[in-house]
Amino acid sequence: MPIILIGGGSRSGKSTYALARAREIGERLGFIATAEAHDEEMEQRIARHREDRPADFTTIEEPLNLCDALIGCEGRFDAVVIDCLTLWLSNLMLTECSDLEGAFTELIHTSRKSGFSILLVTNEVGCGVVPDTELGRRFRDAAGRLNQLVAGAACEVHWTVFGIPVRVK
C-alpha cells in the first residue's frame, strides 16, 4: 500500500493536508500521535491537539513503538496518519536509542508491508540555522537522514508551505 510523506516547516499546514489526503483514500481512518509531554507547555499543546483532532479519525497515542502501532492497525483502517516523525525521532533520541538507522529501516519495512495507506508527517529542520548544541546538530542530521529514507520509500512526497501543498514526488 502507498506510503505518502508530507513535510514542511512548523505551522506550514502539513497536518491539515495529511488529514484531508487521508480522507480522499478511505473512510476508516487512523491517527497515530507521537507527541509525549515532558513539560507543562507540551501537556497543554497535546490537550489542544486532542480536542481539535477530527472525530472521524481513531487516535492511537504511541511515542516510540510505531511499528507495533502500525501492526495493530492492520485490517482496521484504509489510511493512517502518523504525526509526526520528528517528534518520534526526538523521543527515540531522548531514550538514547542506540540504533536510529535500524529504527528508521524497520519503520519503512513495516509500512511497506501494511495493508493500508500510511501518511507520514514530518518537519523539515535543515533549512534553518545550524543548532548551537551538539544534541541539536545530531537531531537535525538524524531528521534529515530519516526524511530522505522515507522520501525514497514513498510513492508520493508533498512539501507544504503557507498552507499550500506542493507535490515533490
Output the DSSP codes for 52-121.
HS-TTEEEEE-SS-HHHHHHHHTTT-SEEEEE-HHHHHHHHHHTT-S-HHHHHHHHHHHHHH-SSEEEEE
pLDDT at 54: 85
Residue numbers in the chain where pLDDT is lower than 70: none
pLDDT at 45: 86
Predicted model pTM: 0.94
Q: Is 38 one of the annotated active-site residues of the chain? A: no
pLDDT at 46: 83
Q: Distance between CA atoms of 118 and 82, rounded to whole angstroms?
A: 7
pLDDT at 10: 87
pLDDT at 49: 83
Q: Distance between CA atoms of 124 and 12, rounded to whole angstroms?
A: 10
C-alpha cell belonging to residue 67: 511499528
One of 38, 49, 109, 158 is an active-site residue; which one?
Answer: 49
Rg (C-alpha) for the chain, rounded Å, is: 15
Note the CATH architecture for domain 3-167: 3-Layer(aba) Sandwich (3.40)
What does the domain layout of the chain look like in residue ranges? Answer: 3-167
- Are the C-beta atoms of 9 and 162 separated by less than 8 Å? no
pLDDT at 52: 81
